[in-house]
Amino acid sequence: MLRTPARALAAVAKASGSAAARRAPRTVLSARPALPVSRVAAVPLVRSFHATSFTAAPVTVKVPQMAESITEGTLKQYTKAVGDFVKADEEIATIETDKIDVSVNAPQSGKIVELLAEEDSTVTVGQDLIKIEPGEAPEGEAAAAPAAAESAAPAAEAPKAEAPKAAAPAAAAPAPKAAAPHPPRRRPLPLLRRALAPAARRPNAAAALTTFNEIDMSSIMEFRKLYKDGVLKAEGVKLGFMSAFSRASVLALREIPEANASIEDDQIVYRDYVDLSVAVSTPKGLVTPVLRNAESMGLVDIEREIAALGARARDGKLSIEDMSGGTFTISNGGVFGSLYGTPIINLPQAAVLGMHSIKEKPVVVNGQIVIRPIMVVALTYDHRLLDGREAVTFLVRIKEYLEDPRRMLLPSPV
């Protein structure tokens, strides 16, 4: 009787101990996963942090568009080396052409990883030139550059205290002209015009013809003689013949708008403004900087702008923008003594006016033979845009304006 309760008590105690033992591990197991969960959750955070520093694909810098009719040049030099960091718009190379030097600028900040052309080699527009890995310079290198510039500044200023004044002439340079005020007008190229030249669809071809005329320069020479000293004293500008020919051309282009137009695909593009390309001789050859919005200028303004463009051309400081976008060209071979010449159209323009030297010739005036200063002028034109009638009319208007400059004051040809 007594052994039964004892066994029962032992069984109860054993059952209680096993139950407690089973409960204890559950308690520990339910508490321990807290640490591994937090550690596992931290791993993606570390990985996502490193994922933000991936390397972008390199950007290829190509040879940029140059002046009209220029398709290649010589890679003069790289201004940066492989491994150098550059900022957006910073110059990285210079290309030399027979007309101008063209700067190649970085499209964005980054490190130069590869140079794709050799210096002094010939490169063409659109050719791969440099590869840049986008990104910013490391903090150490970025901070070193300003520090080096600051340390070098006092050394540069020490020999000459007034060095900052050297920037004054650049500030005084005339601001570039505003863009054309009106967009060009377009209309389809008539089928008859296309038939006149089978090459009408080729952008670098034209059906070129040339017409000539003679101008008695007596009146414009007298005009210049009367007013050149006064203009030079009042305006600081030398009054020449280019301003008169430019103004006469603007007025003639207003009457014959096809001479100021161009062909693009199957359309004729008409313009209500005149951007004159003026031929200038430089040590590297002939260049044609553009006189913007010549229709809004007087004689003095035209002379001033032509003089400024000529000085920049001879100093090799013309940019691509200075030589692009002309709508009509004037070339003066007379400064070299040319008596006759056939100027070449500056495509995609429609015409070019050629001036020549002034020679005294016997001419008949009112039934009398007299000696007059005569200039032969030539107009080369694209027959796809102008017929002979329009071309001859244009050149006759130039002749009338120069032989009687007072006509240029009238609102329409008389």
Q: So which residues are the catalytic ones?
A: 383, 387
Residue 338: other Cβ atoms inside 10 A: 15
The residue among 249, 206, 244 whose CA lies nearest residue 379 is 249
Name beta bridge partners: 86. Answer: 110
- Whole-number Å distance between alpha carbons of 211 and 333: 16
Name the amino acid, one letter, at 244.
Answer: A
Task: Identify each DSSP E strand in 222-350 by its residue range.
Answer: 262-264, 267-270, 276-278, 280-282, 285-287, 290-291, 328-332
Number of residues written out for the chain: 414
- Whole-number Å distance between alpha carbons of 103 and 320: 9
| Owner of token pair 């308690």 | 27
The residue among 282, 280, 277 whose CA lies nearest residue 316 is 282
The residue among 60, 65, 62 whose CA lies nearest residue 100 is 65
Task: Identify each DSSP E strand in 127-221 by its residue range.
Answer: 128-134, 185-188, 208-216
- Whole-number Å distance between alpha carbons of 396 and 375: 13
- Whole-number Å distance between alpha carbons of 189 and 207: 15
For residue 67, give both structure tokens. Answer: 């002046």
For residue 201, give both structure tokens. Answer: 């669809």
Q: What is the DSSP string of 112-148?
A: EEEE-S-TT-EEETT-EEEEEEESPPPHHHHHHHHHH
Per-residue burial over 213-247, b if 16 or more Cβ lie within 10 Å, else e, is eebbbeebeebbeeeeeebeeeeebebbbbbbbbb
Task: Identify each DSSP E strand in 284-357 by its residue range.
Answer: 285-287, 290-291, 328-332, 351-355
CB-CB contact of 119 with 76 (8 Å): yes
